[in-house]
Amino acid sequence: MLFRALRLRFLAFSLLPVAAAAQVLDPLVVTATRSPQPLSALPVTVDVFNADDLSDTTALTVDEALKASAAFSLFRRQGSLSANPTTQGVSLRNLGPNGAGRTLVLVDGIPLNDPFGGWVTWSKAPRLALTSAEIVRGGGSSAWGSAALGGTIQLLTASSQPADAAVSSTQLQIEGGDFGTFAADLHHTTVRGADTFTINTRGFRSDGFRRTASEWAGPIDRPTDLEQGTAQVSWSRTTTNGTRGTLTARIFREERGNGTPLQRNRTREALLAASASGTLELLSAPADWTATAYVQTQEFANRFTSVSDARDSEIAVLDQYAVPADAAGAAATITWSDNDQTTTAGADVRWVQGETRENYFRSGDDFTRNRRAGGTQTFAGVFAHHDRALTSALRGSLSARLDAWQLSDAHRIEIDRTAGSIVREDDLPSRDGVEFNPRAGLVWQATNNWRLHTAAYSAFRLPTLNELYRPFRVGNDITEANPDLAPESLRGIELGTTFATRDLRLRANAFTNRLEDAVANVTLGAGPGVVPGVGFVPAGGLGRRRENLPRVDVHGLELSAHWQPATALTLRADYLYSDSSDHATGLNLPQVSRHTVVLGADWRPLAALTFGAQARYLSDAYEDDANTLVLDAAMTVDLRLGYRFAADRELFVAIENVFDEAVVTRRTTDGLYDLGTPRFSRAGVRWTW
């Protein structure tokens, strides 16, 4: 009955009357196929945000700005300002949200996902330099490999052209607000002939807010304070034949409190990247090529505690004092077009090595055990994409990718710190495999204003080093690692339609996905006592282990509307229905809201005055895999007012969660729950010169 209703809604949406207005030109999208393609030629659903969408948003961070898409969500209902970094895994269409995420996030082709755990540190992205963001929904492994199982998000920055004389521009944004929040961003570009120099810096601090709900909070609870700093410099040169090369270096640091005096984490990162692009002759035709390479080193530290029932004291139960992780990668692509057909081919490699170093098993005033666990992942892939006009109105595309992966150097060593003896030593065997992932699609341009698309695809994801080798504890809940986890695999199909005129764009999309061997934290028992496969679990806690669920079904419907009734006014609506469940039990996946609605308006009543509003609704979800802990439905409303008092200066005021909605983000078996961002007001100024 459900899918019959969805089909009827979809058909009704598809049979809209054809208007006589001019066809709308779509932007070029690079993420879906790793080469520029018109949005109207793609058989998959893509959200495109331009520079104004990202800069004039009601949100303070990039991840909050992307929530204008109903398909986008983080693992928990918290933004990056207050969430523990390990819970910032990205989910698209609610495809099994978890801390690792099943979505690849890129900045100019370089992965932003954490090399050890897969989560995303959004503040590394140079926000003022961003010119666009692309959210490609559906399995993306045919283009990008393992991490893109659920889709791909790419943040793109500006690229200056050579100038005859020295040209420079600077943009500075300073803002402050509630909870002692202060942020400063600087973007500077100088173009001197063939050379371009770019500097991006950001400093941020906030006292934060208290996450624990007031009825449960005690003397031990603290605001989630945060300090961040990042600096990025780039140098580009364009040769006389049009070849362009870029070198980029970035450093990042973060200090974060997680709600009590002892719960804190720290991140340090350094990255060096190089890219080049140009044109060459291939098969007697010009072809565009690109190449990228990067090296990254990072260290993460995190401390977990157990808080007393009265919430007046805590003790550290796990000190993850160092998680060093290194990564390196390289990729090359070539694209050529001829007679209304385009072909892109390429190859890439990626290497990741990481290890958690932590003390655990508290006795008295000290930890008695030490654990070192980690390994190495290596990926290599080749891919090809081809699309062509089959008729004047029908376009077909075919993509395929072959990946080889290997897990090596896997280990888990646990030492009794008192006696100095080894109590566990797992020297795990190496594993490897080969994955083949195709995608096929059709786009039918039925009229100038109306088109339909369909796509079928497969994708895979290799579990992260964190999922494979590192157990963890949050409060009294303990989750055991599983080095035998199999790669996840996905098969999906979608059917969509778009109707667009100069002032109106309507879109509908129905999809179904089957996710096999989905990695999930499966509850095996409750404390107090020994839970098989986990060990001793204290009272009030749950014992869980990472397992592969044989099959997860995700079915859904997306509807969106973008209407500009007047030059100064834009209205938008985005809706996601997503039914994600464990096929064996019929239970819903944790952290999945069946309904997500985003409504927005942008109004410019005067040339210098702008007003923006956005509301986001989430229906009920479950905290746990047993579907016993409910996260209540919530709706937040955000507002922004901007006034440009000079050609190069703008003042703005923004309020997130205007009505101070209590958004439940976490619940525990003993009744405690955490809340998301309360009402948050800030004001700022932006200079450009």
Residue 593's domain comprises 2-688
> For the purposes of burial, counting CB atoms within 10 Å of the CB of 49, is it exposed (0-12), middle (13-18) or buried (19 or more)?
buried
Q: What is the pLDDT of residue 131?
A: 94
Smallest CA-to-CA distance from 46 within 560, 403, 450 is with 560
Contacts of 273 (CB under 8 A, 6+ apart): 110, 247, 248, 249, 250, 292, 293, 294, 295
Residue at token pair 């376009």:
395
- pLDDT (tens digit per residue) in 79-116: 888 888 888 889 999 998 888 889 999 999 999 999 99
Q: What is the pLDDT of residue 2?
A: 34
- pLDDT (tens digit per residue) in 15-42: 333 333 344 457 899 999 999 999 999 9
CA dihedral of residues 126, 130, 132, 135 (deg, nearest 10): 10
Residue 261: how many other CB atoms lie within 10 Å: 11
Find out whether the peptide bond into 528 is cis, omega within 30 degrees of 0: yes
Residue 580, amino acid: S
Q: Which helix (H) or strand (E) holds 562?
A: strand 542-566
Q: What is the pLDDT of residue 17?
A: 37
SS (H, E, C) 7-22: HHHHHHHHCCCCCCCC
Q: How far apart are CA 139 and CA 495, in angstroms?
A: 14
Greatest distance between any 2 Cα atoms in the chain: 82
Q: What is the pLDDT of residue 248?
A: 97
Q: How far apart are CA 356 and CA 362, in angstroms?
A: 18
Pairing of strands 477-480, 542-566: parallel
> For the purposes of burial, counting CB atoms within 10 Å of the CB of 427, is it exposed (0-12), middle (13-18) or buried (19 or more)?
exposed
Q: What is the pLDDT of residue 214?
A: 85
Q: How far apart are CA 390 and CA 547, in angstroms?
A: 45
Q: Give me the helices (H) in 119-255, please.
A: 141-144
Q: What is the count of structural domains for the chain? A: 1
Strands (E), 338-365: 341-363
Q: How far apart are CA 531 and CA 522, in angstroms?
A: 12
CATH of the domain at 211: 2.40.170.20
* Contact indicator for 95, 174 with CB cutoff of 8 Å: no
Q: How far apart are CA 492 and CA 555, in angstroms?
A: 10
Work out the end-to-end distance of the chain between its first and last CA atoms, rounded to an integer number of angstroms: 59
Task: Quote the tokens at residue 169.
Answer: 């521009």
Q: What is the pLDDT of residue 505?
A: 97
Q: How far apart are CA 109 and CA 31, in angstroms?
A: 9
Q: How far apart are CA 238 and CA 63, in angstroms?
A: 33
Q: What is the pLDDT of residue 5?
A: 37
Q: What is the pLDDT of residue 290?
A: 97
Contacts of 292 (CB under 8 A, 6+ apart): 109, 110, 273, 274, 275, 276, 329, 330, 331, 332
Give every residue of the chain whose pLDDT is below 50, as ranges.
Answer: 1-24
